[in-house]
Amino acid sequence: MTYRSDWHRVSPLAIIHHGLTFLRQLVGSNPGPLLGLIAGTVAFARESPLMIATTALTLVLLGVGMAVMGWLRFLYRVHDGAIQVQQGVFTRHKLTLAFERIQNVRLERPIYLRPFGLARLTIESAGSASEEVHLPGIPLGEAEGLRDRALAETNAPLEPEAEASGAGSPGTHELLRRDPSDLVIYGISSPAILWGGAIAASLMGAVTRNLGDDRSREAEQAMNTLLETMPGWLPEFLVLPLAILLLLVLMSLASMTMALLRYQGYQLFREGERYRVTSGLLTRREQGIRHQRIQHLHLAQSFVARLFRRHHLSCHPIGPSLPDQPDGGGGALMAPSLTPDEQAQIIETLYPGLDWGDLRFHPVNARFMLPRFAFWGLLATITVAWVTVGDVPAWVLALFLPVPPLIVLNWHRQGWCLHGERLILRGGLIGCHYTVFDAYRVQTLKLFQNPLQRRAGLANLGIRLGSGGFRLPFIPWGTGTRLMDHLLWQVETSRAPWL
């Protein structure tokens, strides 16, 4: 495909994208002023409906105006082996991203662009988030051409294994396909559910605590109304657990729906030396990444996923890793809800020769538990004092009972394994997660110890890759220095392309 070396404007439909981005930024970065504005508007609305209508119209016109200006000022071109973008309504930004620096490409087809044969292309470099290029509303053919060029172009030689497997050849091999049943399991076992449940439980707890307070008569009235609507045969002490259960079920349903929307029709392909994922119900996403760009692999199994014997796998390219996000954040390439066989197959593809069943993990020192016991012990002591002198019920102390076994479990989960040129780190609490990477991908190493660790001859090893940082805690000092020397030797003697 040939590219004209002049500036292009994206489709006018990108105004929707600019409008949505403007709204997201307004809500995300300035929630305080926005809430104040809404509160002021509501107060004025009682006095003067005309004023509120005028304000609303002004705001809408302002938003549309900003979106149109954003579209008019957004120009892009392919020039001299790079994508160049000019954008910004008040401040002009110009960004040049060379094809050889591109790490990750995402092609999305939102529902409002699909009927017009348009797509949204996101291109990420090894730099910061400000170096991302978003091209909203460009013709699908052009987006695919740019994607192919970005994924094909590199300044590094191909890896032998990639050449052997036919890198650059048009052969496409399907590695994985997800059915709705797999996605339902992914939705149920997403860790976000547990966090949501914990937040819901704490909120419900706060409501019930406030019931006896004179200041919260409204909360009591609300709870009484709720109790009156309950069937007569339901004992009162069951209301709270049932409410939490109901919330968890609702959140599970929401999570399953999100998983189906996000990963419906999921397919993972290997095309020579690159991987491509297509998925999404409303917005069709296509994400591509070159094998050499993958910095580390994350394999996670939550408590619920453990019941289904499933693992969720993500491959991380260079860029900040955001583990709190369901898809690992930004450029991570997800393979959700893998059965043991599928997991073995994908790992064999990504890291040939890594026999998962044969891995023997080294434990970390049992002193790993000491700071945790100290923290929770202090908290328990404060609570005991509070129960003794205050009006806190004694049953609150029972909440500390699961803490010691959980700390021991957390210690048991920690481990590491050096398998040839690969390092595998293990962690987790009730669930378990693994991080796998080639030693030559290491960017920075840090060996550190506190005074108590020094007395015990222990240290922590911090490892930073381009895709995030990891910590190997409470290992013997000698092991730490030897591991550090070994990893440095691997990095400094390796000629493999890593960026």
At closest approach, how far in Å is the CB of 362 from other proteins? 15
> SS3 of 257, please?
helix
Of the ranges 142-150, 373-381, 387-395, 466-474, which one interacts with other proteins (CB under 8 A)?
A: 466-474
- What sign does the dihedral 26-32-37-38 (CA atoms) show? positive
Give the span between the Cα atoms of 19 and 63, in whole angstroms.
7
Nearest-5° angle of CA 335, CA 434, CA 469? 100
In terms of CB distance, is 71 or 440 closer to other proteins?
440
149 lies in the site for other proteins, by CB under 8 A: no
Among 75, 464, 471, 476, binds other proteins (CB under 8 A): 464
At closest approach, how far in Å is the CB of 491 from other proteins? 5
442 lies in the site for other proteins, by CB under 8 A: yes
- What sign does the dihedral 89-90-96-99 (CA atoms) show? negative
95 lies in the site for other proteins, by CB under 8 A: no
Strands 415-419 and 333-338: unpaired
Token pair 């160049």 is at which residue? 84
Q: In sequence order, what are the residues at sequence separation of 6 or more whose Cβ sits closer than 8 angstroms to the Cβ of residue 307?
A: 189
Q: In the structure encoding, which two tokens stand for residue 170, read together?
A: 């048009």
At closest approach, how far in Å is the CB of 466 from other proteins? 3
DSSP state of 269: E
128 lies in the site for other proteins, by CB under 8 A: yes
Of the ranges 5-13, 232-240, 282-290, 312-320, which one interacts with other proteins (CB under 8 A)?
A: 312-320
Among 111, 355, 444, 457, binds other proteins (CB under 8 A): 444
Whether 14 and 71 have beta carbons less than 8 Å apart is answered as yes
Whether 387 and 394 have beta carbons less than 8 Å apart is answered as yes
Among 289, 465, 472, 475, binds other proteins (CB under 8 A): 465
Of the ranges 79-87, 172-180, 200-208, 448-456, which one interacts with other proteins (CB under 8 A)?
A: 448-456
Q: In the structure encoding, which two tokens stand for residue 269, read together?
A: 């392909």
476 lies in the site for other proteins, by CB under 8 A: no
At closest approach, how far in Å is the CB of 296 from other proteins? 11
Of the ranges 140-148, 336-344, 426-434, 461-469, which one interacts with other proteins (CB under 8 A)?
A: 461-469
Of the ranges 1-9, 60-68, 299-307, 478-486, which one interacts with other proteins (CB under 8 A)?
A: 478-486
DSSP state of 101: G
482 lies in the site for other proteins, by CB under 8 A: yes
Among 443, 456, 476, 496, binds other proteins (CB under 8 A): 443
Beta bridge partners of 303: none
**Count of residues making up the chain:** 499
